[in-house]
Amino acid sequence: MSSAATAAPAPAARLRAPADPALAQIARKVEAGERLTAADGAALFATRDIHAVLRMADLVRRRLHGDQAFFNINRHLNYSNVCALSCKFCAFHRKKGQEGAYEHSMDDIRAEARKARDSGATEMHVVGGLHPWLPFGHYTDMLRAIREEAPQLHIKAFTAVEIVHLQRISKRGGDGYEGVKAVLRDLMEAGLGSLPGGGAEVFDDRVHDEAFKGKIRSDQWLDVHRAAHELGLNSNATMLYGHIEERSERLHHMELLRTQQDHTLAAWAQAQGIPVSPDGAVVLTGPAARYPHERLPMPGSRGLTTGYFQTIIPLPFFPNASELEHLPGPTGLENLRTLAVARLMLDNFPHVKAFWIMQTLPMAQLELQAGADDIDGTVVWYDITKAVGEGNHQETSVADLKRAIREAGFVPVERDTLYRRVERDGASWRVG
């Protein structure tokens, strides 16, 4: 299988000495491809030498992807905003009967799938609230309807929070891990192709209890993704930051994701001759001579039998219209720094996404130079969080995405959901 990840890697580069002596040892580790500790992460967050942090993240990003920057053509479907929970940071949810509450009919969903197909989208991203009454069969019917209308479309659907909700309402396979797997199998059979990374927020019990009590905790979120990976599904991971959490809690979040990815990739890494350290660390971000592009995990190739985390997506918190409206939200510099630290700490994640719809396109351009290699897609009808204006019609053209990437100094590469290069002729496309 050819892929977007098979281009020649950029030559290994040396880092300029940081102005902050506290970063000297960290820079040496990054050059050598050694794993960073939580204390290193804290130093990266604390330093005033932000340029040194960004340079380190950029070095790692160029080792993995050279000057390529990925985008995709996708369509979002938020099938309902009715939700049994009331997370404080969420401006999306409504209660049944409340003004603004909606549920898309199956006809609407079919129409959206046809629009996606006709516009040449490669992916439909499907998420919604935890609807208190819709039966499990509604969700499998929804996937089948999309599949029937647009067979080529990859369906990335349902956060881990929704999967646990579906397990509860379906009563499939019991309450535990096997129940999650049973639900995932049914969804896969109906057309599910991968899991999005939402619902992770920040993996910390204090933050959980204060800001999104009632939602699943970190262990359940991680278990859903582990189950998906065991079944061969790839997934992404998010981190919603800039609300009531501390930077140390962001680092803990990253460490939990990194540890799980170590376990997922261990057998594959050993088969590839990639060193696995005695404590189980699988580091993919070292010098190009040791970790050439061909060793990036790709689905179904190079002896990889499981799915894995493809991408970390740091998401800045937007206070508007949420119960945490009194908080200021993160600044642009904090967005840059958090993304760069994520790139450096998550050394076993192939990709880091600057999700333009929440970061804004100008910010995403800067983040391409701070460790990001992906800015997501054309994105139609994304109404979970709005960074731009009041409307919910969030869309940009392929030409604008490409121009933004080129202006940032990179070569735009259209990818599919699994980061394979897309070859396109208008609305017709195939994986190259």
Residue numbers at the binding site for ligand SF4 (CB under 6 A): 83, 85-87, 90, 92-93, 129-130, 161, 212, 215
Closest to ligand SF4 by CB, 286 or 314? 314
CB of 87 to ligand SF4, least distance (A): 3
Q: CB of 81 within 8 A of CB of 94? A: yes
Closest to ligand SF4 by CB, 191 or 199? 199
CB of 130 to ligand SF4, least distance (A): 5
CB of 161 to ligand SF4, least distance (A): 5
Closest to ligand SF4 by CB, 83 or 315? 83
Torsion angle of C-alpha atoms 49, 355, 222, 62, degrees rounded to 10: -50
Closest to ligand SF4 by CB, 315 or 341? 315
Torsion angle of C-alpha atoms 310, 315, 388, 429, degrees rounded to 10: 0
65 phi/psi in degrees, rounded to 5: -130, 5
Closest to ligand SF4 by CB, 107 or 219? 219
CB of 160 to ligand SF4, least distance (A): 11
Closest to ligand SF4 by CB, 100 or 278? 100
Q: What is the DSSP string of 207-275?
A: HHHHHSTTS--HHHHHHHHHHHHHTT-EEEEEEEESSS--HHHHHHHHHHHHHHHHHHHHHHHHHHT--
Closest to ligand SF4 by CB, 382 or 410? 382
CB of 91 to ligand SF4, least distance (A): 8
Quote the tokens at residue 74. Answer: 């996708």
What is the end-to-end Cα distance of the chain in Å, rounded?
Answer: 8
Q: What's the one-letter identity of residue 236?
A: N
Which sign, positive or negative, has the C-alpha torsion 356, 359, 360, 361? negative
CB of 208 to ligand SF4, least distance (A): 11
Q: CB of 370 within 8 A of CB of 57? A: yes
- Strand, helix or coil for residue 145: helix
Quote the tokens at residue 231. Answer: 């079944």
CB of 314 to ligand SF4, least distance (A): 17
CB of 93 to ligand SF4, least distance (A): 4
CA dist list (Å): 196 to 40, 141, 154, 162: 29, 19, 12, 11
Contacts of 286 (CB under 8 A, 6+ apart): 32, 33, 34, 63
50-65 and 332-345 are packed helices; what angle lies between their axes, rounded to 10 degrees?
50
CB of 164 to ligand SF4, least distance (A): 10
Closest to ligand SF4 by CB, 212 or 419? 212
Closest to ligand SF4 by CB, 70 or 158? 158
Q: Strand locations in 27-73, DSSP E?
A: 68-72
